[in-house]
Amino acid sequence: GQQLNQSPQSMFIQEGEDVSMNCTSSSIFNTWLWYKQDPGEGPVLLIALYKAGELTSNGRLTAQFGITRKDSFLNISASIPSDVGIYFCAGPRGTGNQFYFGTGTSLTVIP
Amino acid sequence: DGGITQSPKYLFRKEGQNVTLSCEQNLNHDAMYWYRQDPGQGLRLIYYSQIVNDFQKGDIAEGYSVSREKKESFPLTVTSAQKNPTAFYLCASSRTSLLNNEQFFGPGTRLTVL
């Protein structure tokens, strides 16, 4: 079945550093979603991408829909302690409204 | 405020008992979903519903049951047949359009079987 591979699995960075993570799929997607999950909470949608090459920002977060349509990237600039959490990518499965979710990138920000 | 609510936040159950997790949304979304999350893993789809009175099995439906009698509500029952029910359960909802069909999640229910 479809697998979404997220990289890296975990990151430990100093406050103020920039962060980059990516997600790759084995098939072409027409949508990429990025979520953040705080410990013990539900995922919160950060950015939705609908077009190959699209670059979308949400505050310090920027996500890109890869040209090949098989990958997506999330960047966080000038990280702060509240950026801590798990970041998930998601892509559509089939023609319905279901999504595949990646296994997540765990981000730790050291003050 | 529009959103998705799940209750309770924490749930303890004795082995062999059925338990029902609540999920309500006031976003006027047609589709609703239940996921299970285990430590270090992504989200696995249990059941989903695209419309009232209809639902479909996801990837790990065994030992679970759902109902969709109202658009706003999609309760999940964890039955005694579920071999390893201790997990974090997440409910989500979305539109059913081809675009702008992002899923929005509730705060989750952590179920512990004693």
pLDDT value of residue A94: 75
Does residue A2 register a pLDDT over 70? no
Q: Which residues pair with A73 in a beta bridge?
A: A22, A64
SS3 content of chain B, % helix, strand, coil (to 5): 0, 50, 50
Question: How far is it, in rounded angstroms, from Cα B92 to Cα A54?
Answer: 26
DSSP state of B24: E
Partners of B102 on chain A (C-beta within 8 Å) are 33, 45, 48
Residue type, A102: G
Residue-level pLDDT, tens digit, chain B, 114 residues:
669 999 999 999 999 899 999 999 999 999 999 999 998 778 999 999 999 999 999 999 999 999 999 999 999 999 988 889 999 999 999 998 777 789 999 999 999 998
* Among B residues 58-97, those touching chain A with beta carbons less than 8 Å apart: 58, 88, 90, 92, 94-96
Question: How far is it, in rounded angstroms, from Cα A92 to Cα A29?
Answer: 7
pLDDT band at A1 (very low <50, low <70, confident <90, very high): low
SS3 A83: helix
